[in-house]
Structure 1
Amino acid sequence: MILSRDRILTTHVGSLPRNDKLSDLLVRQEQGQPFDATEMASELDKAVAHVVDKQAKAGIDIGNDGEQQRVGFQTYVPQRMSGFAGVSNRRRGKEFEAFPELVASLVRRFPHTSKQQNAPECQGELKYLDVKPINDELARFNRIASGKFAETFMTAPSPGIISSTMLNAHYDTHDAYLAALAREMRHEYMAIHKAGLVLQIDAPDLAMDRTMLYRDLDDAAFIKRVEAHVAAINAGIDGIPADRVRLHVCYGNWEGPHIYDIPLEKILPALYQAKVGALTIEFANPRHAHEYAAFKKAPLPKHMILLPGVIETTSNFVEHSEVVARRIEDAVAAVGDRERVVASTDCGFGTFTNREWVIEPAVWLKLQALREGADLASTRLWGKKVA
């Protein structure tokens, strides 16, 4: 991964809003309904070209395809892997049980969504069927993005987040299910690496699942589960150099109270067990903006880069560049090395098709503010104006 050698570089977590026509096609594909494959390919070309152009114009240094080619950040997996069927009887998170008003608000706001709460479950032996879909994604993006970014990345879900959202009804233990997922998702992880992109593992399970799948455990027991999930990631990425993998951790990308979230300082040592070169963590979220202090107790390992979220991803407020600059400076102070900080967003802007919290025009303005704030911070950190 490239470092912020002479200025603060910018990136984002991955997903960007999809247009209505593409969303409809992706949902049809997910539901097994008929769709025109030629039309799909054309819409994917246009959508990827659109988000690549918008990222580049906003000043993003390390960009991706905006996950335009997937219905959701992890719910696309059953389309590529055998063993899934039926519907997972997934328990709602603690926050949603405590605040039924939040659930009612979500239903009103997002009446037509993809398979999020009703994702299938694992009912048979898992097997990754064909690398052609991921290779097609990679080929499309590499063709369209050539020369547009200083570096490129592509996302893939962690074994843990697949296991906690598409529940196990086949393997004897949860750990056996994790191992199977790591084994099969490795096909996708390796394809991304071999295509020359940085692999981003999306692992909200490492924080969010404290209030979801593992809500009945105490913090110490949850940390043990985090360590098991990290071990599954390490198994899946074995053989990929650490500096070609970045790990995204978050508390769930929704606009809610988040009062049950686990503090970063409790999970940070377990995150350091991941054999990756960078961590991308929420810090613009109002519940976690203070948590740079966690690095005083557990300093960021010298081989890791921090990609702090300095842009919030669930509201249409566009951050002032000065706010962004100060957040970046806080991150640099926490890490102690300006070169090992790359400014990012808290989470994705289009985590699931038809469930975008932020209107598309505001997304590009937020990414532009990210660039402007990074330039302000760079001027102060390097003592010279950024060209």
Structure 2
Amino acid sequence: MLQSRDRILTTHVGSLPRNEKLSDMLLRREAGEAFDAAEMASEMDKAVRHVVEKQAAAGIDIGNDGEQQRVGFQTYVPQRMSGFAGISKRRRGKEFEEFPDLVKYLTHRFPHTSKQQNAPEAQSEVKYLDIKPIESELARVKNIAGKTFPEMFMTAASPGIIASTMLNAYYKSNDDYLDALAREMAHEYQAIHKAGLLLQIDAPDLAMDRTMFHRDLSDADFVKAVEKQVDAINKGIDGIPADRVRLHICYGNWEGPHIHDVPLAKILPALYQAKVGALSIEFSNPRHAHEYAAFKQHPLPANMVLLPGVIETTSNFVEHPEVVARRIEEAVAAVGDRERVIASTDCGFGTFTNREWVVEAVVWLKLKSLREGADIASQRLWGKRDAA
């Protein structure tokens, strides 16, 4: 895993806006409707090439395919596994019940979305069917990106977020379900590693599910649940060197009150149990921008890198580079080591197809500001020099 040896490196969490034509095709594929496979492949080529070029132009060091080849960051999984059918009755976040106007607003703004609340459930044993889809994704981005980035990453859903989205209707316990998902998702995790890309495990369940799947638990019991979900991740990535894995944690990528989010300090020790080389955590979210203080109570382990979110992903404000620089410097102060901080975003910009909070043109401006802010911070942290 690259580290910021002489300047602050930049990356992002993964998803980037998809064009309208590709979005329509992805939704039709998810719904089981007919689509032209050759046309979709061509459209994916165009979309991946587009986001690779845009990332490079913005100055991103560690890039990816923008998740252009998937309908959503975790709801793609039933397309690759057997055992799923019917409809899950996934719980909404607590704040959606307290603020019904928020639900009306979201329904009005995003009338056509992928299967987020109505994903299928596990009705029989889950089995990973075919490694070819992930191999195709990897081949496409490697072929198109080439050596555009010093390093590339590919995302994959955590067992925990799969379990709390595609609910269990077959296994005796949720723990058994987690174990099965870890065993099967290992095929995908290993494929990404073997292709030479960094593996990013997307695990919003480790924070977000405090207000959703695990909302009835106490904070102490939620931490125990997080420990089980981290253990499932560790089982899934077994055999992959820690420094080839980064773990993304967030509180839910939506514009809302977030007043019930769990404090970072409560879950940080459990996150440290993950056998990964980097933690990606949102810090630009106004409810969590103060939480660097958690590292004073629970210092970042010496073998881990922090990917702080210094760009917010649900607002069309473009952060001033000076604001970004100050956020990076605060992250460095919290970690105590400039080389173990890589500037990132809070979450993805296209978490689900047709559910982008930020318009595409602004996404690229935000990533450009990320690079410019990192250059300003680099000049201060390494002394007056050309940070490019």
Structure 1-normalised TM-score?
1.00
Q: 1:113, 1:297 → 2: CA distance? A: 40
Distance in 1 between the 2:241 and 2:227 partners?
20
Q: Deviations over 1:147-175 (max 9, x none)?
A: 10010000000000000011000000000
Per the alignment, residue 64 of structure 1 pairs with 64
SS at match of 2:343: strand
Q: C-alpha displacement at 1:384, in angstroms?
A: 2.0
Match of residue 181 from structure 1: 181
Amino acid at match of 2:296: K
Tell me what 2:212 maps to. 212
| 2:198 paired residue number | 198
Taking the aligned partners of 1:92 and 1:188, their CA distance within structure 2 comes to 28
CA displacement at 1:93 relative to structure 2: 1.4
In structure 2, give the amino acid aligned to 1:241. P
The one-letter amino acid of 1:104's match is K
Q: What amino acid is the match of 2:295?
A: F
Tell me the secondary structure at the aligned position of residue 239 of structure 2. coil
Q: 1:294 and 1:90 mapped to 2: Cα distance?
A: 31
**Could you tell me which amino acid in structure 1 is paired with residue 374 of structure 2?**
A
| Aligned equivalents of 2:149, 2:11: Cα separation in 1 | 10
Partners of 2:89 and 2:54 lie apart in 1 by: 39
> Which residue of structure 1 aligns with residue 310 of structure 2?
310
TM-score by length of 2: 0.99
Question: Which residue number corresponds to residue 352 of structure 1?
Answer: 352
Match of 1:380 in 2: 380
Query: Aligned-pair RMSD on alpha carbons?
Result: 0.4
SS at match of 1:345: coil
Amino acid at match of 1:253: N
State the distance in 2 between where 1:282 and 1:82 align. Answer: 33
Q: Which residue is 1:264 aligned to?
A: 264
Q: Which residue of 1 aligns with 2:253?
A: 253
Deviations 1:296-325 (A, max 9, x none): 000000000000000000010000000000
Task: In structure 1, list runs of 5 or more residues that go unmatched.
Answer: none
> What is the DSSP-based 3-state SS (H/G/I as helix, E as strand, rest coil) of the residue aligned with 1:136?
helix
Q: Take 2:153 and 2:65, find their aligned partners in 1: how far apart are those partners?
A: 8
Aligned residue number for residue 334 of structure 1: 334
Q: Deviations over 1:35-80 (max 9, x none)?
A: 0001000000000000000000000000000000000000000000
Q: Any residues of structure 2 matched to 1:68-83 within 5 Å, and which? A: 68-83=68-83
Structure 1 consecutive aligned stretches of length 4 or more whose deviation exceeds 3 Å: none
Partner of 1:40: 40
Aligned partner letter, 1:39: E
Amino acid at match of 2:332: V
Deviation string, structure 1 residues 258-295 (Cα, Å, up to 9, x no partner): 00000000000000000000000000000000000000
CA distance in 2 between partners of 1:13 and 1:232 (Å): 21
- Paired AA for residue 185 in structure 1: M
1:108-187 aligned at under 5 Å gives the runs 108-187=108-187
The CA distance in 2 between the partners of 1:72 and 1:246, in whole Å, is 19
- In structure 2, the residue corresponding to 1:3 is in which secondary structure? coil
Aligned mates of 1:143, 1:284 — CA distance in 2: 34
Name the CA distance, whole Å, in 1 between partners of 2:241 and 2:68.
Answer: 27
How far has the Cα of 1:90 moved from its partner?
A: 1.3
Shift of 1:21: 0.1
CA distance in 1, matches of 2:216, 2:287: 22
> Aligned pair 1:241/2:241, yes or no?
yes
Letter in 1 for 2:33: Q
Q: Distance in 2 between matches of 1:384 and 1:308?
A: 24
Percent identical among aligned pairs is 79
> 1: CA distance between counterparts of 2:13 and 2:78?
22
Shift of 1:91: 1.8
Post-superposition Cα deviations, 1:227-280, rounded to whole Å, max 9, x if no partner, equal: 000000000000000000000000000000000000000000000000000000
Opposite residue 224 of structure 1, the aligned amino acid is K
SS at match of 1:311: coil
Matches of 2:90 and 2:17 in 1, distance apart? 26
Aligned counterpart, 1:13: 13
Matched residues in 1 for 2:96 and 2:121: separation?
Answer: 21
Q: Give the corresponding residue for 1:87.
A: 87
**For 1:349, what is the secondary structure of its paired residue?**
coil
